[in-house]
Amino acid sequence: MKDQTVELANQGKFIDPLTTAKGEARALVALTHPETLWFNTGTLCNITCLNCYIESSPDNDRLVYITTDEVRDYLDQLKTRKWPVREIGFTGGEPYMNREMNAMTRAALEAGYEVLVLTNAMRPMMRAQVRQGIAELVEEFGDRLTFRVSLDHYTRAHHDEMRGDGAFEKTLEGMDWLASIGARMAVAGRMLWQDNDADTRAGFSRLFANRGYDIDASNPGMCVLFPEMDERVEVPEITTACWGILGKSPDDVMCSSSRMVVKRKGAQRPVVLACTLLPYAPEFEMGETLAQAEADVQLNHPHCAKFCVLGGASCSV
């Protein structure tokens, strides 16, 4: 039903990688300033959330656990290709479902990178052995390691609406522990409800103050608020003319600065994707190596338009 709805909403669009439905040249993005290399640690998660863009759950193993050796291989490729990457990001699923998570984190930190881990801070992270490893990493590497915790809303009711009863308290318990060991934290929330950006940040600010968390809710890099990514919504295609119309640069788009490594179920080796938001779209798979991933990316998906380029704007003329 979902795929059929998408097709009806954007019928005839996002088909030809080079040309839009109107016959105009489709916009493309070059990898001009690689800053972040993401690793998807696997799509298994301890919970099932409503509207999870990657459909993570206790049963979804479409992307299997990546290994420390595979991560090290790509870290070596970064050096060989001379990508000026500053940060290694780990996402899932829930990264701490992967038992090699702390080892992969250490490999990236020891290679000289900053590390960002996206986690729900729930039971997988709170296992005793995992906590011991995290505490050692925080003590050794300090603020070079950041935990971006998924906290959909600053209220229990709205957060649990997305993640299930009791999820809010379990996540706060994990955040309390991270704060107690001096870990650097950020938060990822959602803009699903009626609050505007300012009100949402004010709500998070009150929560952080009450809990004693050193997180600046006014900083979009520390309190990231994501719009809903609904493929059923009709969106315009992005043409080469849109950059001038919108006053934006291709360098503003995520695929100009990042790539993501995933390992598909049954595959012998990981592959590199153009975008973290499109893990299952085969046309955004670029090959097994970073050299192959240096190719341009055609903006041939509704997410490219709605989430990455437009952000609520329109390039219609």
Contact predicate 281/62, CB 8 Å = no
Task: Clarify whether residues 209 and 122 are in a common domain.
Answer: yes
**pLDDT reading at 184 higher than 70:** yes
Q: What is the 3-state secondary structure (H, E, C) of 202-219?
A: HHHHHHHHHHCCCCCCCC
Which of 76, 215, 108, 246 has its CA nearest to residue 151? Answer: 215
Q: Is the pTM of this model over 0.85?
A: yes
For the chain, what is the mean pLDDT?
Answer: 93
Higher local confidence (pLDDT), 85 or 231: 85
Looking at residue 221, which CATH number applies to its domain? 3.20.20.70
Q: Is the predicted pLDDT of residue 131 greater than 60, yes or no?
A: yes
Same domain, 143 and 241: no
Number of domains observed in the structure of the chain: 2
The span from the CA of 210 to the CA of 7, in Å, is 46
Give yes or no: residues 19 and 125 share one domain: no
What is the model's pLDDT at position 194?
A: 84
d(CA 252, CA 238): 14
What is the structure's pLDDT at 303?
Answer: 87
Residue 7 has pLDDT above 70, yes or no: no
Angle ∠(208,210,215) on CA atoms, nearest 5: 20
Assign 231 a pLDDT band (cuts: 50, 70, 90).
low
Q: Is the pLDDT of residue 309 over 80?
A: yes
Radius of gyration of the chain (CA): 20
* 285 and 306 together in one domain: no
| Domain carrying residue 306 | 1-30+232-247+299-317
The SS3 assignment for 16 reads coil
Contacts of 124 (CB under 8 A, 6+ apart): 46, 94, 96, 97, 130
